[in-house]
Structure 1
Amino acid sequence: MGEKHTATSTTAEDLLRDMDCPVLKRLLKDDDEGGKCLLLDCRSFLAFSAGHVRGAVNARCNSIVRRRAKGSALSLERVLAGDEEARARLRAGLYSAVVLYDERTADVGSVREDSTLTLVLNALCTDAPGAQMFLLKGGYDRFLTEYPEYCLRTKSLPPLTSQSSGGPVEILPFLYLGSALHASRREVLDTVGISALLNVSSDCPNHFEGDYQYKSIPVEDNHKEDISSWFLEAIEFIDSVRDSSGRVLVHCQAGISRSATICLAYLMKRKRVRLDEAFEFVRRRRSIISPNFSFMGQLLQFESQVLATSCASAAAAAASPLLGPASATSLGMAGGSRPDTPGASPFIFSFPVSVVVNPAYLHHSSPITTSPGY
């Protein structure tokens, strides 16, 4: 990692050893041993989603969290924000080995001090000091080349086009995005295995009440609508479907603005990713998504809230009215329901001059999309 290290990184390097790809392959082949080995994929959310070693957990740290850490060691809550089970098992000492990998780092001596590998390593040394830690030599690239059968890869996505065709698209194994047309066809729903529908519109009917679980979020697609006041309630509903081993279709009229906004909010909250990562991830699956300008602003503000939560320590969270136990109320979601007073959500958006929105987020034909019916 270079000649100069902090005390923490020196200790981490002393504890980290190289692991060859054939050794990891043997660990994965042994079912019993596989349950005792934790694989930490230290690449971005997009890279992990495209493909990863079977059984790996995504450990990452985006640029905002890095900056706010100001060089201090991050906690497991920050680098493993989306996997409570792995954190608990680490702290309990239930893993006999922890194997880290990135895209292609050759060996321990090649790990950079400013890399995600180092940040994750330091978090492990701080919060799970008893774990035996290894670096997969050559990273994901080498392991994929040598043992592709032990890697899970996303099926090839169709090229980006100006129009999405076919059925609803899979965002996550339990989360689908589509249109009112998809929601109106029972054969489409049954083919995909949909068990619940989240209707993000004020005028699309629920065609099969009694046959599927429904939840309605009655919002219009315009710049005055506060869709963010529904974010946490929508996320909870999606989680409930996931926890029951079901699949939920999130739809509005065209599956472009309102339903896409809800899916983006879900990814940001549950995967702890920035809006640009979530947007690209969804756009690769449904190229025509285009939340209206106000919705994008509300998502940007939601991003700052989500990432602030990632950066806060447990003590700070308990003391803060924004991030602590009362956070549901603070986010305009008292008791998990939307506020009774319109406009109560702090996410309702007014663009400050200093905020710059990536033009790639916006509709191709216009920088602002407020057309109703999306």
Structure 2
Amino acid sequence: MPPEINSASSSNNSCVVVRDSNSKMDLKLNTGFHHAEKKMCAKMATLHIDIAGSPNSPCPFVRAMNRNSRSSRKDSSIPPTLAVTITLPQELSTRLDNTNVILVDCRSFMAFNKKHISGALNVNCTNPCFRRRLEKGKTSVGDLITSEEGKAVFRSRSDKEVIVYDEDSEEIGNLPANHPTSLVLKSLKKEGTRASLLKGGLKEFEFYYEGLCDSALRKPVINDGEEPPSPTPDSCRCPAIPDVPATQLLPHLYVGSQQDAENLDLLRELDIDYVLNATVTLPCYHEHTGIRYKRIAVKDNGKENLRCHFEEAFEFIEEARLNGKKVLLHCHAGISRSSTLAIAYIMKTRNWNMMKAYHFVKDKRSIIGPNVNFLGQLTSYEKTLRSQNLSSCSRQAQRSRTSSPAAPRFGFPVVNPET
């Protein structure tokens, strides 16, 4: 049925009443348009022209009726905007030591490691796959916490309040429905958790309270990433190497510093016969003693490509393992370069993703902090390993079921790190 258009007038203004016979809805329009335009609309209705099917019609009455018709077809089941309490930076600054508050960082793993509010837990929700699973209720916020210790803290939250933040969001209404912060808050609400949003995110909080923020990454050195220069009378003293001894990550793998590499007695005590030197300038101190050395000459900066050396480093480590020997990876402080090589090696040999390998090394050697450049290379390497794994699975599926078992992935055996 075509819509019925009736015109009427009053002493003050003119109006047109549009009745849609399908939706049974009347739309009364107060207008200042000429009577001839209303007459034209009425004539269109008389000629049985379906003006509701003309969304771009020049007639203002038709466009208004179309808007009304579209709104009547909207799904009335769409939930209202999520109501979320806002926490101000000033308020959070006084509650960081409160054991009844859990702070959740919704940014990427790399952004979190670069800087975060003290005590925050990182939720890996920037990954599209994890976002979809969270949106569909197939996983929970606790499952996406990036550290095992953090997961334990989050799961024991009971009636604690959770304060969520990202980079700079002011309020939930400004975010897309599939934004990580929106999804985390909605999921927490569904779980019955008291949750609020930190106004302005890390950016605003850091502006006022930079001292309450932590960085898991070492501050860059000033001489293009290589070892600090020797102090001069006119310069301040260089920061000392952290007093952390060589750390055993695997039965055959240690990560340490320049001090560890210099100490022959320590190397003998730890039964280390292979040393990988990941610096440009530090010497291979004890070559004359029979210790086998390998140098990977890289600087610790935002330009160096360490990933291109991964395979040669892995071959050196595997040579030591297959000979029943132990190897020390070292750079200047055992923080960035050597830890990056160790993380990559564990990713490959243990078939672990970057975050799991990172936290495994971090739990054993708390001072590690690959620079942002190296973290990006580890992330890229993870994608390469995943692609190789998929290709390997595809090839194995094409092999005969009666063929001999396939070789271990990447040619290295997968061994429990604790054995």
Which TM bucket (shorter chain)?
A: 0.3 to 0.5
Select the structure with the greater relative contact order (CA < 8 A; seq sep ≥ 6).
1
The TM-score, its normalising length taken from structure 1, stands at: 0.41
The TM-score, its normalising length taken from structure 2, stands at: 0.37
